Amino acid sequence: MKYLLDSNTVSYLLDQHTEVRHELEQALLRGDEVLLCSPVLYELERGLRWRTAQKKLSVLRGRIVPKFHLEALVEQDWMVAAQYWADARVKGRQLSDIDLLLAALATRLSATIITNDNDFVILPVRTENWEKKP
């Protein structure tokens, strides 16, 4: 199986969230492919820089990012994201460009997005939530 990590999932890894780390370890043990993409890294980097969270930036760059393959976007992904944006707007929803690009990439790769939010519900993508709510 292929998984794409959303920013909130990587944030949980930065915060050493036990359930998310366990699910990740299980996926890797099964031989699943777990991927990152540039839009997610951009979103994480900008947030950590804004908060001047140098320690978390160091952990992100030194320990988390090297564990995963960084999947590049292609022109087709941008066009699919544009269509997803238009479809969402018709339904009265405004999604972030990061989420639209992540969804387009997941579509091309037939990957499941690992996220804890509902932004993807109106898009034709699979999602899983690795955070277990109490």
CATH code where residue 41 lies: 3.40.50.1010
Give me Rg for the CA atoms of the chain: 15
Q: Specify if 29 maps to a domain.
A: yes
Q: Specify if 133 maps to a domain.
A: no
- Using CA atoms, how far apart are residues 107 and 104, in angstroms rounded to an integer? 5
**Could you read off the pLDDT of 123-132 as tens digits, one per residue?**
999 999 998 7
Is the pLDDT at 22 greater than 70? The verdict is: yes
Q: Specify if 82 maps to a domain.
A: yes
Percent of the chain at pLDDT > 70 equals 99
**Could you read off the pLDDT of 55-88 as tens digits, one per residue?**
999 999 999 999 999 999 999 999 999 999 999 9
Is the pLDDT at 29 greater than 70? The verdict is: yes
Number of structural domains (the chain) is 1
Token pair for 100: 């639209």
Task: State the pLDDT at residue 44.
Answer: 97
Q: Specify if 134 maps to a domain.
A: no
Alpha carbon separation from 62 to 6, 36, 59, 66 (Å, rounded): 19, 14, 5, 7
Nearest Cα residue to 87 out of 124, 127, 128: 124
